[in-house]
Structure 1
Amino acid sequence: MALRGQFLIFRVLVLLVFESRSAYGSSRGWLGRAGDATAAQEIGICASSVIIHGYKCQEIDVTTKDGYILNLQRIPEGRAAGGVQIKRPPVLIQHGVLVDGLTWLLNPPEQNLPLILADHGFDVWIANTRGTRFSRRHTSLDPSQMEFWNWSWDELVAYDLPAVFDHVYKQTGQKIHYVGHSLGTLIALASFSEGLQVDKLKSAALLSPIAYLSYMRTALGVIAAKSFVGEITTLLGLAEFNPKGKPVADFLKSLCTNPVVNCYDLLTSLTGRNCCLNSSTVDLFLRNEPQSTSTKNMVHLAQTVRDGVIAKFNYGRPDYNLMHYGEFRPPIYNISNIPHDLPLFVSYGGNDALADVSDVENLLDSFKFHDGDKLGVQFIKSYGHADFIMGINAKDIVYNQVVAFFKRQN
């Protein structure tokens, strides 16, 4: 069981590190560089990726109850709004793991979801999870301290989402539409299942949803399990999981020495073939991502794969779980507890090896008693995991559907 658990940690890690890598370039090239300096790193997401396109944008800090200072971007209106003062419905957009809010803004403005939503009359807010480059602050801790990284996606559910929801709700006085991708869907589902945020929520769009992960596919599984378990054990001594740092980069680079592994087509091998990525967008992604998360978060994701349930972090010993939860096993997030009248839109892809079709259908089964007119489902046969955030045709295929779904709820 320990060997299998370590392998699953690796499996989730590699899938998510490379979830937005394509066949346009060499994975060896990415592993070999420390990360290019970018405008976003120096001046922030608003100045580098929003204002330059003619949109208003504000950089905002929000502090969680456990002391993390989160960075948000607010795009209050579309480019053609002309400063007309009307009450625009708010939309909160949440990225996945090992990336930040910039990943929504890598294509030209007419192809980016936040700017499309702004142009359709929404007040857009982009979240940046704790640990990413603009959310590496705390009221009393420093990222160099291990305690800064003592969290998993449980804390994103318990602290990050509430802090951001509360701020947006207080600023706008309106219920919020939500868009999540990948891990951004998992933390939303977990939160809604516990009745959190639903009083402030108008509707939610879940793109490439991650919940159940039992059918995640990877061509590297056997090699990883046999060859790199020792390296994984060493990695687990790290509190910060930094894909651009030497320990993690060296570990991933070692995969390329095996002749069976195709390091030039890792995205296809690991997340399914993405149909619609632009090579220049992928290059821009690599100049900005991936971002750090906590090693504990990666372990928690691996537990989700191994156990086949959506549960809180397992501390590995019944007495430790008893100390944290008052019971010997971690509590389950019961997705079927999500209110049946909450408007949900689910969009998933047939070529997504991370959010596999079987796992998404398992998730959809949790909604079998959902009000029929409150659940929209879109299946895109050709789409892989990264197409939902960087696909050149995502506007026509996905984003227009999201906009129409949100407008029907107003």
Structure 2
Amino acid sequence: MGFSALTLSFLLLAFVPHQLHASNHGLFGTKYVTTNVDGICTSSVIVHGYKCQELEVTTKDGYILSLQRIPEGRGEVSGTWTKKQPVIIQHGVLVDGMTWLLNPPEQDLPLILADNGFDVWIANTRGTRYSRRHISLDPSNPAFWNWSWDELVAYDLPAVFDYVFKETGQKINYVGHSLGTLIALASFSEGKLVNQVKSAALLSPIAYLSHMNTALGVVAAKTFVGEFTTLFGLAEFNPRGIPVNAFLHSLCAYPGIDCYDLLTALTAVRDGFLSKFNYVTPTYNYMHYGELFPPIYNLSNIPHDIPIFISYGGKDALSDVHDVVNLLDSLKFHDVDKLSVQFIKDYAHADYIMGINARDIVYNVVLAFFNRPFNI
């Protein structure tokens, strides 16, 4: 069975992990700007009868991030926004906040949360469609893309948390999918955000990428992690572009690769532990870290009293069951009443954001978790 450009586009946007080139850290302060430029609010929220505000947050290293706020439910009489519990929703790798709004409104997590009394904030990480600006760099400049996901931990997530905390004056509930779980776990392990977070719901968590479900995963893991800028020129990833299309066709032509079902087959495998960006050459690692190998994010350092909900699927080729078990082992000393785990036998990676039954199976459980006594 062949695969279409649309299938490839969604597959890559939803599943392909990337490590871009090393970072150049600037000394910029964080600033906050409100804008009325059309974006996610206009196209996917206001059209359904919800209030929505487009915002911008500038990170300490100068990236201007798009942020959407849905302060209340549809048809709700306007009240004081800060009285509601804030929720930050963080998308996965190479997609943006729009990924949460692809289904009808009654099936979309941000709108469900808004209708259930939460003050919803949709984050968009650097380099994505709505966060492709910098105070001094242009996306056409390779320096704009000179970062890895470590910068999302060091700059993007803190900038968004700081802004929401400043605006609401309340601790924040957090929902992350895929990469959104990775950067949260890494942040918590280093003591970041722990004084601002109220609870965290981690859907299809990514931490220990050590198990491979298919030959395609093996080839992809050896090929694309950290090498996209070499293959395609810029780290800005265009899944409809000819280079990417050719790249995937070459993967699927590899001996032993069956691309019949790319959506569930592709997985990402590297070292089997969570570490900072690897400069490959020990000399460069030593220059940046003072060590020959990149430092590890020790997930056992996550404070044991942070309420955490984890949901993972039996058919998820990226958030592999064995790797989630390893993650749970890292959390074995977590306060028993502060850790909730859900296993969904038939769920795959994309079901958490696009499944038509996600509301009944996952989102209602997330709502119940956020409404538990320790979260109120």
TM-score interval for Structure 1 and Structure 2 normalised by the shorter chain: 0.7 to 0.9
Aligned residue for 2:31? none
User: Could you tell me which amino acid in structure 2 is paired with residue 353 of structure 1?
Assistant: A
Give aligned pairs, total: 344
1:251 has 2:247 as partner = yes
Q: Counterparts of 1:203-214 in structure 2 under 5 Å?
A: 203-214=199-210
SS of the aligned residue for 2:164 comes to: helix
Give 1:31 shift: 5.6
SS of the aligned residue for 2:87 comes to: strand
Deviations 1:54-75 (A, max 9, x none): 1000010000000000001100
1:178 has 2:155 as partner = no
Q: Counterparts of 1:159-308 in structure 2 under 5 Å?
A: 159-221=155-217, 235-236=230-231, 238-242=233-237, 243-255=239-251, 261-270=257-266, 305-308=269-272
Structure 2 gaps of 5+ residues are: 11-36
| Conserved 8 A contact 1:318-1:329 | yes
Aligned residue for 2:137? 141
Mapped to 1, the partners of 2:206 and 2:9 lie a distance apart of 30
Q: Select the residue among 300, 303, 328 that pairs with 1:364.
A: 328
Structure 1 gaps of 5+ residues are: 1-22, 34-41, 272-301
Q: Select the residue among 145, 151, 156 that pairs with 2:147.
A: 151
1:388 has 2:365 as partner = no
Mapped to 2, the partners of 1:153 and 1:225 lie a distance apart of 16
Q: Which has the higher contact order (CA 8 A, sep 6+)?
A: 1
1:332 has 2:309 as partner = no
Q: Select the residue among 102, 108, 129 that pairs with 2:104.
A: 108
Aligned residue for 2:88? 92
1:26 has 2:3 as partner = yes
Question: What percent identity do the matched residue pairs reach?
Answer: 72
SS of the aligned residue for 1:91 comes to: strand
Farther off after superposition, 85-94 or 57-66: 85-94
User: Could you tell me which amino acid in structure 1 is paired with residue 323 of structure 2?
Assistant: D
Give 1:225 shift: 9.1
1:341 has 2:305 as partner = yes
Q: CA RMSD in A?
A: 2.5
Aligned residue for 2:53? 58
Mapped to 1, the partners of 2:249 and 2:313 lie a distance apart of 29
Aligned residue for 1:294? none
Deviations 1:177-208 (A, max 9, x none): 00000010000000000000111110000000
SS of the aligned residue for 1:50 comes to: helix
SS of the aligned residue for 2:51 comes to: coil
Mapped to 2, the partners of 1:107 and 1:238 lie a distance apart of 33
| Conserved 8 A contact 1:77-1:119 | yes
Mapped to 2, the partners of 1:221 and 1:308 lie a distance apart of 14
Q: Select the residue among 64, 71, 78 that pairs with 1:76.
A: 71
Give 1:406 shift: 0.6
Mapped to 1, the partners of 2:254 and 2:150 lie a distance apart of 36
